[in-house]
Amino acid sequence: MNTSGKLPESFGSLVFNEEAMKERLSAASYAAWKKCITEGTSLDLATANEIADAMKLWAIEKGATHYTHWFQPMTGYTAEKHDSFISPAGGGKIIMEFSGSELVRGESDASSFPSGGLRATFEARGYTAWDPTSFAFIKENSLCIPTIFCSYSGHALDKKTPLLRSIEEVSRQAIRILRLFGDTETKRVTPQVGPEQEYFLIDKALYNRRRDLRMTGRTLFGAKPARGQELDDHYYGAIKPRVAAYMKDLDETLWALGVLSKTKHNEVAPSQHEMAPIYADVNTSCDHNQLTMEMMKKVADRHDLVCLLHEKPFAGVNGSGKHNNWSLGTDTGRNLFKPGSTPSQNAQFLLFLAAFIKGVDDYQDFLRATVASPGNDHRLGAQEAPPAVISIYLGDELNAVVESIIKGTEYKEADKRTLKIGVDVLPPIPQDTTDRNRTSPMAFTGNKFEFRMLGSSQSISGPNVALNTIMAEELGQFADELEQSTDFQADLHALIKRVFTDYQRILFNGNGYDDAWIAEAERRGLSNLVSTADALPMYFSEKNVALFVKHGIYTREELEARAEIHMENYSTVSIIEARTMVDMIRHEILPAVSGFADQLCQRAFHKEAMQVSCRYETSTARELGRLTDALAKACDRLESDLSAIPGDTMDAMVYCHNVLIPDMDAARATADRLEAITAAEAWPFPVYSDLLFSV
Ligand code: ADP
Ligand code: MG
């Protein structure tokens, strides 16, 4: 695995992939599995038994001793419960066993996972069921079986089940459209996703000295360092040896797990980096992103580093996000968001584009809600990440096409013609490799849309469930209309023109970081859900509930459960942060600055006796005294507000947002001023310049 010449063989060496199955299964079982994943048929127990047996032998050959149903509860992380393969065989011996029913279905007393009220404790058990569309793999001597996680009554308790449902649904609706264009071959349309993952790396020893990083994943204090990211020298800069060694190890670890880690580079902020995989079907991509986040942390530990996936570990420097590149691919190898080379292909492209534009506008509030988290609140709308307003960037070429269709006018300087859908070809639309507009939350980049609002630590499942379902809805509406048509070309043209005209407000090619845009967006009637507390209630809006219920993605209860969990998470995170802050103020900052002030006073006293000037000592000591009192007061206030959290979930979230967060901001501002005038050796924990330039 260490030499690149061996990479083709070592890639996916820990994955029970298609090749391994082909090699180890009977032709009939392999065919049954293949049919199961391409046509959604179920597996009979005999086949499951054969696959389980082959999987077990393969895993044992690779040194595995345990197996686990690997699943993604609604927390957004992954969960696993390991069982060993051993089974007593008499005479104190064991055999290694693993049956088809253990493969296909597991049971887990998972009563501690949040269920948002979906599971009363008397039915605390959750069921896990193998997802045969995602390959099993070996991690730390355990065979990991990707599974869905449901309650006894069949409610989805995880992030995978709704994702799989949404994949089916968008395929079904997209096929209806393809048939209208005479495509009789395509059997499946699958969302394709490439998530670009940002992260910070810092030195482990320094990390261990910061309670806030350990408890909350971000710094709750820290004055701006003399040097931040102003020099722009880190972005795409040379990678330092320690980081390079980490990235190499990470690549090799991920490759063995079949993750197509492709691009690595330094990001804008010091100590910030990015990894982008080659895109895959969204289900695989989602599993792989979870594995990537897990391995980023584990590999860092081996290098005496800590990988921070928090959206905003440091105030004043760029935070981390995840760009979710999304497109629709057919089983015949076509990308439905790639402009074609014939008029008919272009008409089809424009119809899919129209569906996307309409869908993003119709459900902008819900899309915003899918990226709402306490960490992301520090990022969205700041001068580094997309605003909280959702709009679509098409690029100049495609924008010109859309405008010419709306106005019925010539679309190109050099080629003054009126574009007729289904008759003319489009001008060349360049694939955007240079990120021309980095400020847009949803950018068309030549053959895919890049949804840039995701937080770095979040599961990509939720936003993709939303994108898939929204697309299914709009394609379904278009299909309903066009299937009735007696003049397809004319009606198609009219529909596309109508949608482009009606939904212009969501298109924006300018600078999304500009305040003027926020004002303009308001004039256009776009929603601006600034914080998580504003965004999460969108889970309850009738329009959004109706969408998901109609397509069988979430029941009303499942959707409400998710909102509940997110709201609770917001409060829990805020409370932990506030408590950590109180803890650090009382036990670290106040004693340290008080000691330092005392030292200054003593020095001033001695100096005065010797008639030596002591203006620095006295003025600093006075300022320290003033700020210390203010900080103690801010801390008292935080503590008393912490004792008054309302019981209701939504009220608690709103309270945390309106009361605790401002309290924390105030305390931090005072603490940061104290840091700025306290001697370096007197400050109780590593400061920003130590942390950001530590590796
Ligand atoms: P950039 O780095 O400029 O944003 P890239 O072309 O490198 O653009 O793509 C970034 C991510 O988008 C990668 O993960 C890549 O695999 C993914 N990607 C590329 N094409 C598609 C596509 N058709 N559908 C989904 N994701 C894609
Ligand atoms: Mg990108």
pLDDT digits (tens, 9 = 90+) for 285-332: 999 999 999 999 999 999 999 999 999 999 999 999 999 999 999 999
128 and 149 in contact (C-beta within 8 Å)?
yes
Q: How confident is the model at residue 235 (pLDDT cuts 50, 70, 90)?
A: confident
First to last CA, the chain: 26
| Sequence letter at residue 478 | F
Share of the chain above pLDDT 90, in %: 73
Would you state the pLDDT for residue 410? 62
Measured in angstroms, how far is the CA atom of residue 433 from the centroid of ligand 2?
A: 8
Q: What is the pLDDT of residues 546-593, one digit of tens each?
A: 999 999 999 999 999 999 999 999 999 999 999 999 999 999 999 999
Question: SS3 of 517, please?
Answer: helix
Residues with CB under 6 A from ligand 1: 192-194, 196, 263, 276-279, 325-327, 335, 433, 435, 447-448
Mean pLDDT calculated for residue range 103-127: 64
Q: Provide mean pLDDT across the span 600-616.
A: 96
Q: List CB contacts of 626: < 8 A, sequence separation 6 or more.
A: none
Note the Cα 301 to chain centre separation in Å.
22
Question: Mean pLDDT across the stretch 595-623?
Answer: 97
pLDDT at 187 over 70: yes
- Closest ligand to C-alpha of residue 436 is 1
* Residue to mutate, 448, 454, 471, ligand 1, most ligand atoms under 8 Å from C-beta: 448
| Cα–chain center distance at 573 | 17
Give pLDDT, residue 117.
66
pLDDT in tens, 245-261: 999 999 999 999 999 99
Tell me how far the alpha carbon of residue 166 lies from the centroid of ligand 1, in angstroms.
Answer: 21
Which two three-digit tokens encode residue 185?
Answer: 């071959």
Place of tokens 């009637």: 525
What are the pLDDT digits (tens) for 381-435?
Answer: 887 888 999 999 999 889 989 998 998 876 665 555 667 777 777 777 777 655 5
* pLDDT higher than threshold 80 for residue 617: yes
What integer is the mean pLDDT of 135-140? 95
Distance 22 CA to ligand 2 centre (A): 36
Cα–ligand 2 centroid distance for 323 (angstroms) = 6
Which has more pLDDT, 67 or 8? 67
pLDDT higher than threshold 90 for residue 460: yes
Ligand nearest to the CA of 329: 1
Of the given ranges (21-25, 63-67, 153-157, 165-169), which has the lowest mean pLDDT?
153-157
CA of 97 to the centre of ligand 1 (A): 42
| DSSP states along 395-422 | -HHHHHHHHHHHHTSB--SSS--B--TT
pLDDT score recorded for residue 553: 96
372 closest CA partner among 76, 85, 50, 84: 76
The top-scoring range by mean pLDDT among 77-91, 334-348, 432-446, 493-507 is 493-507
Which residue owns the Cα nearest ligand 1 atom 3?
433
Residue 88 pLDDT class (50, 70, 90 cuts):
confident
Question: Do the Cβ atoms of 607 and 613 come closer than 8 Å?
Answer: yes
Tell me how far apart the alpha carbons of residues 206 and 215 are, in angstroms, rounded to a whole number: 14
Q: Which two tokens stand for residue 612?
A: 């030596």
pLDDT score of 279 more than 80: yes
Q: Give me ligand 1 centre to Cα 303, in Å.
A: 29
For ligand 1, the distance from its centroid to the CA atom of residue 475, given in whole angstroms, is 24
**Residue nearest to ligand 1 atom 6, measured at CA:** 433
* 9 has a pLDDT exceeding 90: no
CA-to-CA distance for 506 and 512, rounded, in angstroms?
12
Query: Alpha-carbon distance 314 to 690, whole Å?
Result: 12
The C-alpha atoms of residue 622 and residue 616 are separated, in whole angstroms, by 10
- Ligand 1 atom nearest residue 276's Cα: 14
Nearest ligand, CA 449: 1
**Residue 123 pLDDT exceeds 70:** no
Tell which atom from ligand 1 comes closest to the C-alpha of 194.
14
Residue type, 597: A
Give me the pLDDT at residue 378, please: 96
User: How far is it, in rounded angstroms, from Cα 239 to Cα 249?
Assistant: 14
**513 half-sphere exposure, CB direction, 13 A CA radius:** 8
Q: What would the DSSP string read from start to end of 467-482?
A: HHHHHHHHHHHHHHHH
**Mean pLDDT value across residues 504-514:** 92
Q: What is the chain's mean pLDDT, rounded? A: 91
